[in-house]
Structure 1
C-alpha cells in the first residue's frame, strides 16, 4: 500500500488525473474526518501526512488507510477523459461551486448538470471594483457596492470577471438572489482565493474547468473554461501591480 504522500503527488502531478475531482479525508480529534478538496491541501503545511485517512474521486474511495484499500490504478474515477485547457502544474485546479437552494449552501457543481441553452455570441464583463484599502475616505465603498451589484445585474453578462474584489464584496454577491439563481462561482467560496489575490469569476454557462496560477504575493491569474455555443472558451482574469506600488509601471512590464 502506498503512502498518503505518494497518492497526493501522483494525483497532483500525473496529467492523467484531475485533482479537482479528488477529496481528502483528514482525521480530527474527537470528531469525524474533515473532508478537504485535494487542491486546497498544502504539503508540508499544518496537516501532517499521517492524518490523511482517505482519498475519494468522483465519490469513490480510491485509497483508505484504515482498511488498506489502494485502487487508484484500478478505477477510472478521477481520470481526465479529455485534455485539460488549464493543465497542471501551471494551473492549480479549483472546484466550481453553485448554489443549492434545498441545502441553502454553495456546493461543488455535481456531475451531469444539464447544460443550459448556450448563447451566441458569449458576453463578458470585466470590472476593477477598487480595493477599499486605498483612498477609502474618498471612494465611499459602502455606497458603491450595492450600486455595483445593480450594474452587474443590468449588464446581463454570461461571464463576470472582477479585479480588486474583497471578501465583503464576495459575501454580498453570493447572498444576492440573481447570482444564486443563475451563476456558478469559479472556486470554493470558503477558500482564500479572493482574499489573497482579489480575483473573482462568475459564469452562467457550464464551467468545465477552473484554475489558479500564482504569479507572486497577492498576484495571480484566475481562469475558467466555459461551454460556449461553438465549443469551450477559456476566460482568464488577472490584476497587475498598480501605481500604488513602488515602481508599479516597471513591475507591470515584467
Structure 2
C-alpha cells in the first residue's frame, strides 16, 4: 500500500491526474474527518501525514488508510500519458539534499569554451563540472542503493536523443542573474520526458514548484546582458548525444563526484573506477622433455 505522502505527490506531479478532482480526508479528534481540497493541503505544515486518512477522486475513495484501499491507478482507466506509471513500491519518497543530483554531463571535448567563461563568472566551478541538472536536489547518497534501480527503470523508458546547445539566456534574481546555455535548443520534449519519469519515482525531489527548464549554468553576474553577449560570441552551437545520466554527490568539502552512470534506453548501470579483472597470465610452457 502506498503511503499518504506518495499518493499526494503522485496526484500533484503526474500530468495524467487532475488535482482539482481530489479531496483529502483529515482526521479530527472526536469528529468526522475534515474534507480538504488537495490543492489547499500544505505538506510539511501543521497537519502531519498520519492524519491524512483518505483520498477521494470525483467522490469515490481511491485510498483509505483504515481499510487498505489503494486504487489510485484505476482513475487512469482509458487514459494514455507520456510516461508509464511506476508499479506499486517503485517510488522512493525521501526528502532531498542539495548534496546530490541526477544530471547530464556534456562530452569533455565541449568543455573548453564553457569552462573559459565559467572561470571568470561561476563561483561554483570547483564544485560542479559543466552539467545540466535533471533532478536537483536528490536523495542522500546513503539512499543510492535503493535509488539506482528506480533510476534505471525511469531511463529505460526514454531513448537516447541529441541535444543542441545553442542560445544564451538568464534567470533574474534580486541583485544579479544566472546566465545559462540552452541545451534544449533542438527540442524540450525529451528532456521533459526523462524529468517526468524520474519525478514519478522520486516525488519529493527536484524544484517542481518552479517548473523545469533544462539549462547549463555559465555564471552569475549583475550585468547578464554583457555576459550573454560575451558567451554568444565565444560559444558556437554544439550538438551532443544524451545517452546517459550521471548520479552525483559530494562528501564534506569535496566537489561533486560521479557515483554511477545510467544509460538511456536500457537503464544499464555503470559505476566509475570499478576495478576490472586483471587478464589471466598465460601459463608457463611445460619444460622440455628430458633428452
- What TM-score does the superposition give when structure 1 sets the normalisation length? 0.30
Give TM-score, length-normalised by structure 2.
0.27
Task: Give the structure with higher Rg (CA).
Answer: 2
